[in-house]
Structure 1
Amino acid sequence: MKLKNRMVISFFVIILVPLILTGVAVAGFTMYQVWSLEKKYGIEGVTYENLSNNTMLLSKMTQKTFSTLEKTASSDSEKLEDTSYLDSLNQNLTGKNAYLLVRKDDDVFYCGAQTQDELLFSELPEYGDASAGNDRGVYIGADVQSLVKQVDFTFTDGTKGSAFIIFHSNSMVPQLKRILLDTVFVIVLILILTALGLCTWTYRGVMTPLNQLKEATKNIKEGNLDFTIEKTGVDEIGDLCDDFEEMRKRLKESAEEKVAFDKENKELISNISHDLKTPITAVKGYVEGIMDGVADTPEKMDRYIRTIYNKANEMDRLINELTFYSKIDTNRIPYTFNKIHISDYFEDCVDELSVELESSGVSLTYFNYLEEDAVVIADAEQLKRVINNIVSNSLKYMDKPKGVINIRLRDVGDFIQIEIEDNGKGIAQKDLANIFERFYRTDASRNSSKGGSGIGLSIVKKIMEDHGGQVWATSKEGTGTTMYLALRKYQEVPVHE
């Protein structure tokens, strides 16, 4: 979820949730207080309207006492002259914020309050006031604010009297106070819990992924890249986690590539140094022989010089491979593409190879199965490097007394297929898929007769791919190996006027 959406949700939640929960809580408290009022004061039919109107509620709470007072006044008014009876009635009003007052003529006969309010007494309704004798009472509010219920009667001596149930309308029933206090408490509690929940939700949505990113930067600083960063929290930071995870993967790949590259370089240096040491040792030996006069005949001198020349060529080839290898890694291979007539090109190439192979005791046979002279777009020098590397590899692993190399050209649709076959020791099937990888060697133990840098066939693959072609091999152990090269034919596109 986006941080913007999270903030919008938080805004509405912090408004709506407290309102809803407060409403539910107030409804629950009100129902409980209604039940409590009915049970405590013995009244029935308390409604929400009564609770919202303090005067109505107080009137309803004294209704039973008022009815008793009316009944006594009409049937047995003498009891209203008995202070003990009046005390019992006043006792029923205790706790209801009301009290009983009996007036005899213009004087107070009985007052259930601890102190008498002279202002209230002066404002009491007159004897026979019909409005003060109803169930709801009459409100007096000149100098005091009270609700008065009045019952008129006559004393035994003929004096007019009135019994009043009086309660101050500004006084509040304890249950209503409790509802207000509980409501305020619940509102404050709900606001605190809602704010706390939303703050926790937002904090976790932001801080959890930030802590994860902090831990990730610490791991990277310490060189540890073997961990994962999962997308969590708000979308904006989640996207940052995804980017950070992608960066970590690339850093790990780069580190692994660097380790592999360093390993390859070390292996290359080891291979080159080993393979250079052999011809250098031979050159030194033959030069020392010449200096010591061992080559004392023209024939022996010629053989020594030719051997030195061949060893120098071998060192030159190794150095060229090393130079070319550095160009592969920096993608700076100098290509010069031209149209090449493939038949003519291979005839010249075979002529050059024949001289070298003849001196090695290996026969070379060339077969051209092309029906017409085909043209390819290629770099003649780099294509020759491909052929030489394959042939050199064949010579290196030639184990037959009479070595044979066959070169065949075939037309396979849009491609020219070049096949270079030898009758060497062959390659095991488990090794065949890896022979074009850098530094891969089928023989684990190197020796001077089967040396090499280990990058010859990887160079072949790189050059063929840069030509838009392919290279693959088939082999059988003990029989020989065939290398296949495929180059796309050049075709003229007709221009229609």
Structure 2
Amino acid sequence: MKLKTRLIIAFLTVILIPILLTATMACLFGKYQMSAIEKTYEITGMTTENLSNSVTVLSRLTEKFYHELSQMVEDNPAKMEDATFLEGFNQKLTKKKAYLLVRKGSMLIYVGTDMEEAESVIAGLPGYGDSEMEPENGLYLGGDAQALVKQVDFLYPDEKKGSAFVVMNVRGVIPEVERLYMEMLIGIIVVLILTAAVLILWIYRGVMGPLGKMQIAAQKIKEGNLDFELQAEAEDELGELCHSLEDMRQRLQDNAEEKIRFDKENKELISNISHDLKTPVTAIKGYAEGIMDGVADTPEKMERYIRTIYNKASEMDTLINELTLYTKIDTNRIPYNFNTLSVDAYFADCAEDLSLELESRGVEFGYFNYVDADVKIIADAEQVKRVVHNIVNNSMKYMDKPKGKINLRVKDVGDFVQIELEDNGRGIAAKDLPNIFDRFYRTDASRNSSKGGSGIGLSIVKKIIEEHGGKIWATSREETGTTMYFVLRKYQEVPMYE
């Protein structure tokens, strides 16, 4: 789950859950308090609406006493002048948060509370037979009085008008309702705290779990330990960050392994070059000593010794040139000079050079051109010639037939020109064929082989062809020969429209 989704859910939860839980608690606490009020104050039929209206609740509390008072004044109105009775009745009302007022004529003959408290109520008492009076529910007096008054009118035995008033102060609420409000407030606070705690824990675990893993991974990377795998727990923003960190770790590991491999190859190259240079240097020293010691005592011997020294020096020069070119290739510093070349003319020149060189070395050479005269390529003439000569030299190195033979074929294959160099040498084993273009790879395992070479010739060829946008591959059969193929893209002239 995405972090954004988590936050939206948390936001909605903080709003909705407290509302739902508060409503549930209000219902439960309300029922409990209604039951407590009915039991404590001996009333029935309490509803949630009663609890939400303090006037209604107070009216219900004195409902029984109002009916009792109404019945009593009807049966025995003389009791309304009995101070003992009135005091006893007032004490029962006091338990219900109310008090009694009794009026005879225009005079109050009984006040069941402190006169100062009752003063504002007395000033607002309704008259006899007031049409606005609601005997059952009472009359609400606002202003300073803030009281609910229930009035019972009657006639004293001496025929004077009288009224009994049940007065309830509505400034406060009954304890049970107060407790309900307090419980509701505490419940809301608890719900908010628990909801926030659960959501914080949920978000914390969703965030800190992946962060903890990434922190451990970062520490391992800092210490150079890249041999581990960081797996994302979810497909969210942190999961994407985990994937990015894992990609970075993998790339660092690949770079580290590549550096180790590169260092190993460099050491191998130095070792190979050192070994391959040692052979011609030893020969040069030997023949030079022979000349100095007078062993070459005839013109023929002298010429042979000098020719051998020259050939060995040429071998050294070739090795050094390969090393220099390899360094340029590895740092992408080969100075390519691309030009539009005619395939027919260019490879005809290459074939002429190869023919003279191979003829002098006793190798038969064949050239076959199957492309039209107007076919062109864009290439670096010098580097493509290097490719051809490297392949031919590699073929010569492993030529084991008494009569060597090399063929050069140029073919048109659609958008490309395909060049084939075929020899009748000893061939390459199937297990070695996929690796022949790798740097330093040699099919002969021992450096003591008389074939020599740095092992980077074909890797240079591959690099040059790839830089031309082509590709190279080979087929071979042991004891039969090898064919090297490479392709170069044709030059396509774009017609100009005015």
Q: Shorter-chain-normalised TM-score: which range? A: 0.7 to 0.9
Q: Bigger shift: 185-194 or 198-207?
A: 198-207
Q: Which amino acid aligns with 2:352?
A: D
Q: 1:119-268, aligned counterparts within 5 Å?
A: 119=116, 123=122, 129-131=128-130, 134-138=135-139, 146-151=147-152, 165-196=166-197, 214-225=215-226, 226-228=228-230, 230=232, 235=237, 244-268=245-269
Measure, in 2, the Cα distance between the counterparts of 1:468 and 1:142. Answer: 99
The runs of 5 or more residues in structure 2 that have no matched partner are none
Deviation of residue 181 (structure 1)? 1.1
Which residue number in structure 2 is paired with residue 66 of structure 1? 66
Which residue number in structure 2 is paired with residue 55 of structure 1? 55
Measure, in 1, the Cα distance between the counterparts of 2:489 and 2:155. Answer: 134
Q: Does 1:453 align with 2:457?
A: no
Which residue number in structure 2 is paired with residue 335 of structure 1? 336
Q: Percent identity?
A: 53
Which residue number in structure 2 is paired with residue 117 of structure 1? 114
Taking a change above 3 Å as real, the CA distance of residues 288 and 36 of structure 1, as seen in their structure-2 partners, is same
Q: Which among 348, 357, 361 is matched to residue 353 of structure 1?
A: 357
Which residue number in structure 2 is paired with residue 269 of structure 1? 270
Secondary structure (helix, strand or coil) at the match of 2:419 reads strand
Taking a change above 3 Å as real, the CA distance of residues 87 and 382 of structure 1, as seen in their structure-2 partners, is same
Deviation of residue 216 (structure 1)? 4.3
Which residue number in structure 1 is paired with residue 37 of structure 2? 37
Q: 1:370-385, aligned counterparts within 5 Å?
A: 370=370, 373=373, 376-385=377-386
Q: What TM-score do the two structures reach when normalised by structure 1? A: 0.79
Contact between 1:422 and 1:481, CA under 8 Å: does it hold in 2?
yes
Q: Which amino acid aligns with 1:300?
A: K
After superposition, give the CA deviation of every residue in 1:301-330 in whole Å (9 maximum; x if it has no partner): 332222222211111111111001011112
Deviation of residue 71 (structure 1)? 2.5
Which residue number in structure 2 is paired with residue 279 of structure 1? 280
Contact between 1:98 and 1:165, CA under 8 Å: does it hold in 2?
yes
Contact between 1:93 and 1:99, CA under 8 Å: does it hold in 2?
yes
Which residue number in structure 1 is paired with residue 312 of structure 2? 311
Which residue number in structure 1 is paired with residue 298 of structure 2? 297
Q: Bigger shift: 254-263 or 99-108?
A: 99-108
Taking a change above 3 Å as real, the CA distance of residues 107 and 234 of structure 1, as seen in their structure-2 partners, is same
Which residue number in structure 2 is paired with residue 395 of structure 1? 396
Measure, in 2, the Cα distance between the counterparts of 1:290 and 1:27. Answer: 120
Deviation of residue 59 (structure 1)? 1.6
After superposition, give the CA deviation of every residue in 1:170-222 in whole Å (9 maximum; x if it has no partner): 24212221222123223333444455556566666766665555444433322
Deviation of residue 49 (structure 1)? 4.1
Q: Which amino acid aligns with 2:30?
A: T
After superposition, give the CA deviation of every residue in 1:343-371 in whole Å (9 maximum; x if it has no partner): 5313322233225523xxxx323142547
Secondary structure (helix, strand or coil) at the match of 2:431 reads helix
Q: Which amino acid aligns with 1:327?
A: K
Measure, in 2, the Cα distance between the counterparts of 1:124 and 1:379. Answer: 118
Q: Which amino acid aligns with 2:444?
A: D
Measure, in 2, the Cα distance between the counterparts of 1:386 and 1:141. Answer: 111
Taking a change above 3 Å as real, the CA distance of residues 490 and 184 of structure 1, as seen in their structure-2 partners, is closer
Secondary structure (helix, strand or coil) at the match of 1:167 reads strand
Taking a change above 3 Å as real, the CA distance of residues 233 and 208 of structure 1, as seen in their structure-2 partners, is farther
Contact between 1:6 and 1:202, CA under 8 Å: does it hold in 2?
yes
Secondary structure (helix, strand or coil) at the match of 2:404 reads strand
Taking a change above 3 Å as real, the CA distance of residues 247 and 141 of structure 1, as seen in their structure-2 partners, is closer
Contact between 2:128 and 2:163, CA under 8 Å: does it hold in 1?
no
Secondary structure (helix, strand or coil) at the match of 1:33 reads helix
Contact between 2:50 and 2:56, CA under 8 Å: does it hold in 1?
yes
Secondary structure (helix, strand or coil) at the match of 1:448 reads coil
Structure 1 vs Structure 2 CA RMSD: 4.3
Q: 1:69-108, aligned counterparts within 5 Å?
A: 69-75=69-75, 93=93, 95-99=95-99
After superposition, give the CA deviation of every residue in 1:278-303 in whole Å (9 maximum; x if it has no partner): 22122222222333333333333332
Q: How many residues align?
A: 487
Contact between 1:469 and 1:485, CA under 8 Å: does it hold in 2?
yes
Taking a change above 3 Å as real, the CA distance of residues 126 and 229 of structure 1, as seen in their structure-2 partners, is closer
Deviation of residue 396 (structure 1)? 2.8
Secondary structure (helix, strand or coil) at the match of 1:429 reads coil
Taking a change above 3 Å as real, the CA distance of residues 428 and 39 of structure 1, as seen in their structure-2 partners, is farther
Contact between 2:276 and 2:454, CA under 8 Å: does it hold in 1?
yes
Deviation of residue 161 (structure 1)? 7.6
